[in-house]
Amino acid sequence: MLNKISPLGVAIKTALCVAWLAAGGVASAASVDYVIHSNAIYPGDGSGPLAGVVLVDKGKIVQVAKREPQNTQARQRIDASDLVVAPGFIDPHTHACNDFDKGQPNLNANYLTQGVTTVFCGNDGGGKINVGEVLDRYEQQGIGSNVALYVGHGAVRTAVMGRENRHASTEELKQMQTLVANAMQQGALGLSTGLYYVPGNYADTAEVVALAKVAARFGGVYDSHIRDESSYHVGLVAAVQEVLDIARDAHIPVHLAHLKALGVDVWGESKTIIQMVQQAHANGLIVTADQYPWKASGTSVAGALMPRWALAGSKEEYHARLKDPAQLPGIRVEMLDNLRRRGGADSLLISDPTAGELRGKTLAQIATERGVSPIDAALQIILGGNARVASFNMADQDIEAFMRQDWVVTSSDGSPGHPRKYASFPKKYQDYVQGKKLLSLGEFIQRSSSKTAQIFGLTGRGQIAPGYAADLVLFDAKSYAPKADYMHPEVLSQGVQWLLVNGQVAIQEGELTGKLAGQALRKKI
Q: How far is the CB of 510 from Zn ion (least distance, A)?
A: 32
With contact defined as beta carbons under 8 Å apart, do 146 and 138 qualify? no
Q: How far is the CB of 124 from Zn ion (least distance, A)?
A: 4
Taking the least distance from each CB to Zn ion, the nearer of 303 and 495 is: 303
Q: How far is the CB of 312 from Zn ion (least distance, A)?
A: 19
What gap in Å lies between CA 413 and CA 484, rounded to an integer?
15
With CB under 5 A as the contact rule, which of the stretches 110-118, 220-228, 461-469, 492-500 interacts with Zn ion?
A: 220-228
Could you tell me which of 476, 465, 378, 474 has the C-alpha nearest to residue 434? 476
Would you mind telling me the total number of residues written for the chain in this entry?
525
Count the residues of the shown chain that bind Zn ion, applying the rule CB under 5 A: 2
With CB under 5 A as the contact rule, which of the stretches 221-229, 322-330, 457-465, 511-519 interacts with Zn ion?
A: 221-229
Asked if 398 touches Zn ion (CB under 5 A), the answer is: no
Q: How far is the CB of 140 from Zn ion (least distance, A)?
A: 28
Q: Is 209 helix (H, G, I), strand (E, B) or coil?
A: helix
129 Cβ contact partners less than 8 Å away, ≥ 6 residues apart: 151, 152, 155, 156, 159, 179, 182, 183
Q: How far is the CB of 413 from Zn ion (least distance, A)?
A: 6
Q: How far is the CB of 225 from Zn ion (least distance, A)?
A: 4
CA–CA distance from 87 to each of 42, 213, 500 (Å)? 8, 32, 9
Could you tell me which of 96, 113, 19 has the C-alpha nearest to residue 474? 113
Rounded (10°) CA dihedral 201, 261, 190, 108: 110
With contact defined as beta carbons under 8 Å apart, do 403 and 293 qualify? yes
Taking the least distance from each CB to Zn ion, the nearer of 270 and 494 is: 270
How buried is residue 508: exposed, middle or buried, by Cβ count under 10 Å (0-12/13-18/19+)? middle
Binding to Zn ion (CB under 5 A) within 118-137 occurs at 124
Taking the least distance from each CB to Zn ion, the nearer of 32 and 262 is: 262
With contact defined as beta carbons under 8 Å apart, do 512 and 107 qualify? yes
Could you tell me which of 420, 510, 517, 435 has the C-alpha nearest to residue 470? 517
Instruction: Report DSSP letters for 391-409, one per residue.
Output: EE---HHHHHHHHTSTTEE
What residue is closest to Zn ion based on CB? 225
Binding to Zn ion (CB under 5 A) within 139-168 occurs at none
Q: Is 389 helix (H, G, I), strand (E, B) or coil?
A: strand
Binding to Zn ion (CB under 5 A) within 82-111 occurs at none
Taking the least distance from each CB to Zn ion, the nearer of 150 and 444 is: 150
- The strands making up 296-300's β-sheet, listed across from edge to edge, are 296-300, 388-392, 348-350
Q: How far is the CB of 315 from Zn ion (least distance, A)?
A: 20
Taking the least distance from each CB to Zn ion, the nearer of 194 and 253 is: 194
Asked if 225 touches Zn ion (CB under 5 A), the answer is: yes
Taking the least distance from each CB to Zn ion, the nearer of 193 and 448 is: 193
What gap in Å lies between CA 466 and CA 64, rounded to an integer?
7
Q: How far is the CB of 257 from Zn ion (least distance, A)?
A: 5
What gap in Å lies between CA 306 and CA 316, rounded to an integer?
15
Taking the least distance from each CB to Zn ion, the nearer of 124 and 398 is: 124
Taking the least distance from each CB to Zn ion, the nearer of 127 and 374 is: 127
Taking the least distance from each CB to Zn ion, the nearer of 100 and 292 is: 292
Taking the least distance from each CB to Zn ion, the nearer of 68 and 124 is: 124
Asked if 427 touches Zn ion (CB under 5 A), the answer is: no
- The strands making up 287-291's β-sheet, listed across from edge to edge, are 151-152, 190-194, 221-225, 254-256, 287-291, 408-410
List of residues contacting Zn ion (CB under 5 A): 124, 225
